[in-house]
Structure 1
């Protein structure tokens, strides 16, 4: 399965961002991509750097946005994972990944389950935790285990997707560092991000796709010191082997051939699902065990 990861920087306006993204989807399709994955909240800025009530207006166009990206998927004949700000009802908003089939129909949705609340990443102000659970989406290219960004740090999310038959793990992402951070800390953060996801791939015997934003985005409220998204979008195989990796600083269409059939071979060598002690995991349903 030829997969395209579209890593971009914010252009400064939704209109130009959308046009640029659609053009890259077309370019990826022309190069043979069957599956195209876009970064988290790809239509605009990463607006969660501050808490601003007016920014909820960005979700007012959700239905129109779904219709637009549906047509992009249909026109290019690709399965596509888009990441949108969903207004579900007044005062009820989600960070939602929408999966489109080749013909533009909606194959499924995933609403981000784990919502962070850290300096510069004030997502709890904007997003209600998802209520669709960890359910893979069936498509013509395979059963996609779509998760979003902060979900990356939770092995439970990846495991549940695997237990429900996901054939690949997919993470649209927006993660970066502050320029003022020491260089050693920046490297530790990025390496932790890579390692934890490669661990999910290994533990579940599945390939994994992570698509990150890239470039500097200013906090217009002046609350913090802005974010520099570190790019580094990557694909790894079911043993955590790196198959493709994008730049830290440049926009890129990262193309990678993913062999879904290889998972069967790897799981025969390393039958982790067979050896799980499901009779001894009750504690996982507790917040903490005293």
Structure 2
């Protein structure tokens, strides 16, 4: 694989799907002007995120009222996703949606990441780890499977997924060449800080990104929402992290684009030349602790 240019977006996306679809062309063209090959937008790009993580449907609302408080759901093969796929052109674009799916005659929601390019859907990921009240709204995904794309084999995660080392390790063991994580990661809801930079969650958000890159010796592209939605204040801090766990580009709390160019395959090979974390694993030792 030759060098690719990766970009992580920090931006605010709300509930107005039409407004988002009108906003995205400018963002994509800005990235295209900078030669971006892989653009990673935040979780919940289309339709926005939840308003509250404790009672996302309202503490005492009935089903109809609860639905009105939740992000609009779209289908992976629906017109909203197709609009972004058409917009992508030769760029590979990852973005988040609330996915509507029909299972067993029941309408269910997933918090999903979609990867598109040249008018087609290359693959998607349903968030596996659901924190706090997310489980009241979304059904959990069940697997981590890389997606083959023009920029390489991508392993996708959605915010809380990256808290668990098993998520990215599963993707790396399945030959992912590059990790991406789409987030709608807010500041602490229990221990607020006056400055986002000093917030406990701001520290953890960066820590997980760097750890997941370093332990798997892969590049990681991490996007996030910004601004305020309901009772949540999002951190931003979109970034690109190298296989040594070093942040090479970052947006901090404001909206923007974190951009880096690298030969991701060569860099991974170089990082693993003397200490290859995947090859030097000892699975039997880990499994003994699970019995």
Are positions 1:65 and 2:75 aligned together? Answer: no
- The answer to whether residue 226 in structure 2 is matched with residue 214 in structure 1 is yes
Root-mean-square deviation (Å): 2.1
Q: Distance in 2 between matches of 1:285 and 1:210?
A: 31
Aligned pair 1:228/2:233, yes or no? yes
The answer to whether the 8 Å contact 1:85/1:94 transfers is: yes
In structure 2, the CA distance between the partners of 1:230 and 1:31, relative to structure 1 (3 Å rule), is: same
What does the per-residue CA deviation read over 1:242-289, in whole Å, with 9 as the maximum and x for residues that have no partner? 1100031x2212222133011101111221122211112225757xxx
Specify which of 142, 148, 152 is matched with residue 142 of structure 1. 152
TM-score by length of 2: 0.86
Which runs of no fewer than 5 residues in structure 2 stay unpaired? 58-65
* Counterpart Cα distance in 2 of 1:156 and 1:60: 29
Q: Shift of the alpha carbon at 1:48?
A: 4.7
2:252 is the alignment partner of 1:237? no
Distance 1:11 1:155 in 2: 30
Paired residues of 2:15 and 2:46 also in contact (CA < 8 A): no
The Cα offsets for residues 35-71 of structure 1, whole Å up to 9 and x where unpaired, read as 1111000123322512123345711565121211111
Q: Are 2:262 and 1:258 equivalent residues in the alignment? A: yes
Which residue does 1:156 correspond to in 2?
166
- Among candidates 14, 17, 21, match of residue 18 of structure 1: 21
Distance 1:44 1:36 in 2: 19
> Given the superposition, is the C-alpha separation of residues 17 and 188 from structure 1 closer, same or farther in structure 2, using an over 3 Å criterion?
same
Q: For structure 1, which runs of at least 5 residues remain unmatched after alignment?
A: 220-225
Asked if 1:199 corresponds to 2:205, the answer is: no
More off after superposition, 80-89 vs 187-196? 187-196
Whether the 8 Å CA contact 2:240–2:258 is kept in 1: the answer is no
Contact 1:83 1:96 in 2 (8 A): yes
Give, in whole Å, the separation in 1 of the partners of 2:149 and 2:237: 26
SS at match of 1:160: helix
Which of the numbers 174, 177, 180 marks the counterpart of 1:170?
A: 180
TM-score (norm 1): 0.86
Moved over 6 A (4+): none
